[in-house]
Structure 1
Amino acid sequence: MLHAYLNIFAIFALMFLGYWLSFKQWFSNRSADVFSKLVLNLALPFNMFLTITANFSKEEFLNLFSGMIIPILSMFMTFFLSQLYRKIWPTKEGRGGTFTTMFTCSNTIFIGLPINLAIFGEEAVPFVLLYYIVNTTIFWTIGVYEIAQDNPEIHQVKVSFHPLVVLKKVFSPALLGFLIGIGWMMASFPVPEFIATFGGYLADLTTPLSMFVIGIIVYFSGLKNLKINRDVIGVLLGRFFFSPLIVWLLGQFIHVPPLMLAVFIIQSSMPVQNSVTILTRAYHGDEEFAASSLGYSVLIYMLYIPILLKLIL
């Protein structure tokens, strides 16, 4: 347990380093965009490919997908719970859809992957990706639609989802790396030494760059600009209490390996998706509310994760 805590501390030390280097003007908002592209388009795809080909057999992999029912059910249950929450404690006008999306969807890659790697090691990566597939699909379909509803001129705006756009968001380079790894592993091809070495160097960038991105976002959001209110508290309850509780309850009825369930619980309890603030700005929603929810969820998570680990490990 102490080893896991020390690994998590190292992860957040990288985030603080990203924050500090932003303060020192080494990094800008543009740096976060560049690092995000490096992670999503290069480092993460190689990470997925090498993890699958190195750590799984055909039989082990085919047993993975039976557990996907838990993230599917849990996220839809969390979504409907957020709707019920809004009926009991109505949100301020212009932020209801953003509230629902942040309540339901979590930051499964930029924080979720490094944290799970720090706690469980490479064996957790396929389970991380299973949750990521469901989370990303819901976020870029239902979640974006909900955020768009906060636009004060929504009656003049046609919100549509072209299938190719949705597929591009869901079938990201990370997922394609995962799928190529599956095909490679199923065919029992050896991974060439050059690809293993070159890809390994890129894969090692995943954690530091991901945490730099979060540190940069927190810095440029401005700690003094973060405002706590009833709606932000509601988002934090969704992220840190209701979402992991629903996953844990489903795990009592749907049998999955203990490691898979533990990863799903941790993935479900991650901070707010960092894309929410960008989308809220694009759809003219309550950007301050989104930024405050993201900032507080990241900062509180540092105190929350040791408590969660104590409960589930």
Structure 2
Amino acid sequence: MTAALLTLHQVLLMLALLAVGVVCTRLGWFDEWIAQALSKFLLWFVTPALLLDAFNQPFRTDMAYGLLLSGALAILFHAMAAVLTQLLIRPGRFAQCAIARMGAVYSNCGFMAFPLISAVIGTDGVFYGSAFVGVFNLFLWTHGRRLLAGREGVRLKDAVCNAGVLGALAGAALYFLHFQLPGLAADFISTLASLNTPLAMLVIGIFLSQCRLKDLFCRNVFLPVLLRMAVLPLFFLSLLLCLHVPAWHSAGSALLMVALLCASCPAAASTVLMTSSLGMDSSYGARLVLFSSILSVLTIPGIAFAASCLIQ
């Protein structure tokens, strides 16, 4: 029950920040140009800082092993999600099939997972979560990009040289080389990292401000959101329990919860940002993000409660 209450508190806090973005846009204070500028700042400064901050701690062999296991669980989840959405979301059913699959597979773990993990597990959980986010970014710029733009739209440079992957690689390199940032640099990185959640929620709120609630209740929105918020996380939880993940490591239960919280977040902001950059129907992606964000008030605490009961 504690995990459910902590996640509920964090989800409500983040949705309140998102609502501020919506209100400010409706008042004419923010616009899409501001959202695009803040998105670039988040991508190239805040996201790498968040990952570097998570890795900036003394090296421990047991935690290094846990980090590698967290990365493996991230690969498992994204591979599983890609296969299931390929089977369950068929081109004949949705005109926006590629965007629907994108919204179902990719969670908003880069912006939402760290506050949830920090509240439920603490700093060790954030450290493990950084591996999941690094793998998420690698899949997003390869499989996710291919979903939207086809094989010709995937470039190795984009897959490797994006802020999420570079931040995770740089942080991991510093950690495994037993190097910690000195005081002023560490404080600078930590301060930048602290901007992640409030800025990200404001940006998402700006993009979602044009959505109408009545447009959310249709089949082509409901099925991808149901997959994203319930089917895929619960299937993943069942798989992790079948694989006895809590027994893999001294912090196995924490690793399971970290991976599950990352997998349970609403549809990724890239469902809007990447589709918009490719000239696709970003309004449909925005509806997926908004509906999944609303449902997260119920689904994330519920899934966290189920997991905490099952792994005790």
- Pairing partner for 1:73 from 72, 76, 81: 76
Q: Which residue of 1 aligns with 2:145?
A: 144
**Unmatched 5+ residue regions in structure 1?**
150-157
Q: Which range moved further: 139-148 or 100-109?
A: 139-148
Tell me how far 1:296 sits from its aligned partner: 0.9
- What are the superposed Cα offsets for residues 234-291 of structure 1, whole Å, 9 maximum, x if unpaired? 1012101221123212212152411111111121122112222343345554444322
- Pairing partner for 1:191 from 177, 181, 187: 181
Tell me how far 1:7 sits from its aligned partner: 3.7
Q: Distance in 2 between matches of 1:203 and 1:288?
A: 29
Q: Which range moved further: 239-248 or 54-63?
A: 54-63
Q: Distance in 2 between matches of 1:50 and 1:132?
A: 13
Q: Secondary structure at the match of 1:54?
A: coil
Q: Distance in 1 between matches of 2:34 and 2:18?
A: 14
Q: Which residue of 2 aligns with 1:96?
A: 97
Q: Distance in 1 between matches of 2:34 and 2:165?
A: 24
- Pairing partner for 1:214 from 184, 204, 219: 204
Tell me how far 1:39 sits from its aligned partner: 2.4
Does residue 236 in structure 1 map to residue 238 in structure 2? no
- Judged with a 3 Å threshold, the aligned counterparts in structure 2 of structure 1 residues 258 and 299 are, in CA distance, closer, same or farther, namely same
Q: Distance in 1 between matches of 2:275 and 2:184?
A: 43
Does residue 162 in structure 1 map to residue 155 in structure 2? yes
- Pairing partner for 2:305 from 297, 305, 310: 310
Q: Which residue of 2 aligns with 1:153?
A: none
- Judged with a 3 Å threshold, the aligned counterparts in structure 2 of structure 1 residues 147 and 14 are, in CA distance, closer, same or farther, namely same
CA contact (8 A) 2:108 2:268 kept: yes
* TM-score, normalization by structure 2: 0.84
CA contact (8 A) 1:46 1:202 kept: yes
Tell me how far 1:224 sits from its aligned partner: 4.7
Tell me how far 1:65 sits from its aligned partner: 0.6
Tell me how far 1:14 sits from its aligned partner: 2.0
CA contact (8 A) 2:55 2:171 kept: yes
Q: Which range moved further: 257-266 or 16-25?
A: 16-25
Which letter maps to 1:159? E
**Unmatched 5+ residue regions in structure 2?**
none
- Judged with a 3 Å threshold, the aligned counterparts in structure 2 of structure 1 residues 96 and 3 are, in CA distance, closer, same or farther, namely closer
Q: Distance in 2 between matches of 1:77 and 1:83?
A: 10
- Judged with a 3 Å threshold, the aligned counterparts in structure 2 of structure 1 residues 70 and 63 are, in CA distance, closer, same or farther, namely closer
Which letter maps to 1:44? T
* TM-score, normalization by structure 1: 0.84
CA contact (8 A) 1:74 1:246 kept: no
